[in-house]
Structure 1
Amino acid sequence: MMANSLVYGLVLVCMITGTTGSFMVTDNPYEQYTTHRWPDWTTPRGGYWTSSPSPGQDLTGRMFSVMSGSVVTFRGPLRYGNINAFTVCLRIIAEATPGAAIFTLTTSNSATLTLRSMPSGYELTVGQASKNLQPVSAIPSFGKLWPWTSLCVTWDSNTGMTQMWKDGKMSVRKGMWRGQNFYGPATMTLSGFEGQVTDIHMWDKVLPLSGLRSYNQGWGYPFGNMLSWRDMGYTSQGYAILENAFESQGGPAEKDSTGKQQRRHWRRHGELGNVVQGGADSVGGCFGLRKRCGKSQVLLE
């Protein structure tokens, strides 16, 4: 009886201690993919918290509509060790608000990376260093995945070189925070803009031009190993809605060897094809030369 009382007392103390913090203490590593803020779950104050099932969720063909004042946090798999380079890519539809943070990344050693929209281009902050980046040099083969704006940022600790890509344009390379490292799993927070976001990926390396081109075109790119839209843990607070993503149209049309304009292709995230029939969520997970998925038929080329 005394032993049972002692165990009960210890559990009660742990629960009281846990409610004063931000995260629930658990021995289950999968719990760390989602945030459990006990005060907000037990006594909500000005907003609702929702979270993804552990350990992550396939968000292919989905997008978050983020309203003003809301916060969405994304978490990838648990991993530890130095991060000497990275590539971060995402697609957004947002109104231009100078100074607004598009996203903020944090890691275990409290190092941060923030991308802000500026009147002329963007501002990237890595650690304690900031650089203005303006994608101006067009690469014709990249094109644009309408209606989305595809953004990618790369950084290499060994050289300090950072670069930004926006649709079919790239910025010049600039040096910043050379020799520094990130450490541990990555967490991305969206809280500074109003609009839609999808296809968030992060890699622990600088993607080659071919990988960046594939991401920009919306198919054939490797999924992120630090953050992946195919396996994402997330937490949202406030007015943020997870819904079906807009269908994407590749463009602009390019000329073939005969000089004629090629017809544009409709692309779904990670796939290339012509959507014959169906809605926004009708072709997710369809692969092969020809396959029916729900009420839609997709012909891959």
Structure 2
Amino acid sequence: MRVFIFMLTYLITSFAEKQDLSGKMLTFPEESDTAHVILVPNQSKSLPAVTLCLRFFSDLSRAQSLFSFATPTNENAFLLFKRENSVYEVDQGGQDIVLFWGLDDKRNEWNSVCTTWNSQTGIAQLWVNGKPSTRKGVRRGRDISGAPSIILGQDQDSYGGKFDRGQSFTGMLTDVHMWDTVLPYPEIVLYMNRIPQKTDGNVINWRSLEFTRKGYVIVENQVN
């Protein structure tokens, strides 16, 4: 298993390209079980907390994966999944919770999403277009550890693969940032309002992103 993980990490980093994607977006033009983007994190240490922010544009009403973070021991170490319109799921370490229900998101428009989780308290929360969810507890006292496999466009049902076409993302993604802390509320407000922030993500940074595209995925200028 260790040899497999080493080889997988080597292959990912060998073919990865690093770019400043400011003003750019990733376009996933069609439903598939192959098209995805592998992100190489800026660090691979254990995560005692997470803030994940991204923007997406899609016309899908079915379930779709927005962000999939797997480790060798858990394919859902941190998953942001949209079940249907206005219903989001955060899966941390194999335990999933619904954090957003009944507040409007928009099809065929840009949606801004941030989610936070703190292992010390277990508290998780979600913001969509500036509106917060209730705060709920999940996997208190357990950091995220293990070599990460981070994928956009697909939900990993095994480490680095086993994709389901019916859970694939179709549309555009941009401004993906991930931190190893819970971002202060004022910083989340800045992100929601597209105002420049004090710090970029220190785990995933859209302005300095190392990534590999697989299948039919295009980097384009962002369309507002």
Which interval holds the TM-score relative to the shorter structure?
0.7 to 0.9
* 1:139-154 to 2 correspondences below 5 Å: 147-154=109-116
- CA distance, structure 2, for counterparts of residue 227 and residue 103 of structure 1: 12
Find 1:121's aligned residue among 63, 87, 93.
Answer: 87
In the alignment, what sits opposite 1:83?
Answer: 47
Residues 1:170 and 2:132 are matched in the alignment: yes
Q: In structure 2, list runs of 5 or more residues that go unmatched.
A: 155-167
In the alignment, what sits opposite 1:210?
Answer: 186
Residues 1:193 and 2:199 are matched in the alignment: no
Matched residue SS, 1:212: helix
- CA distance, structure 2, for counterparts of residue 214 and residue 107 of structure 1: 31
Bigger RCO (CA 8 Å, 6+ sep): 2
Residue 99 (structure 1) shift = 2.6
Residue 106 (structure 1) shift = 2.5
Greater strand percent: which structure?
2
In the alignment, what sits opposite 2:160?
Answer: none
Residues 1:232 and 2:199 are matched in the alignment: no
* 1:88-99 to 2 correspondences below 5 Å: 88-99=52-63
Q: What root-mean-square deviation, in Å, do the aligned CA atoms of Structure 1 and Structure 2 show?
A: 2.7
Residues 1:161 and 2:161 are matched in the alignment: no
User: In structure 2, what residue type is equivalent to 1:197?
Assistant: L
- CA distance, structure 2, for counterparts of residue 62 and residue 100 of structure 1: 21
Deviation per CA, 1:72-92, whole angstroms, max 9, x where unpaired?
111121342x31111000010
Q: 1:76 to 1:232 in 2, by over 3 A?
A: same
- How many percent identity over aligned positions? 32
Q: In structure 1, list runs of 5 or more residues that go unmatched.
A: 1-16, 26-31, 37-50, 139-143, 248-301
- CA distance, structure 2, for counterparts of residue 83 and residue 217 of structure 1: 27
> Which structure has the larger Rg?
1
- CA distance, structure 1, for counterparts of residue 21 and residue 219 of structure 2: 9
Residue 208 (structure 1) shift = 1.1
Task: Detail structure 1 runs of 4+ shifted over 3 Å in the superposition.
Answer: 21-25, 107-111, 135-138, 184-187
Q: 1:23 to 1:116 in 2, by over 3 A?
A: closer
- CA distance, structure 2, for counterparts of residue 72 and residue 213 of structure 1: 27
Q: 1:24 to 1:224 in 2, by over 3 A?
A: closer
Matched residue SS, 1:211: helix
TM-score normalised over the length of structure 1:
0.59
Question: How many residues are treated as equivalent by the alignment?
Answer: 198
Q: 1:63 to 1:77 in 2, by over 3 A?
A: same
Contact 2:52/2:177 (8 A) holds in 1: yes
Residue 235 (structure 1) shift = 0.9
Contact 1:133/1:171 (8 A) holds in 2: yes
Residue 107 (structure 1) shift = 4.4
- CA distance, structure 1, for counterparts of residue 204 and residue 134 of structure 2: 26
Residue 62 (structure 1) shift = 0.6
Which stretch has the larger CA shift, 83-92 or 100-109? 100-109
User: In structure 2, what residue type is equivalent to 1:90?
Assistant: L
Matched residue SS, 1:213: helix
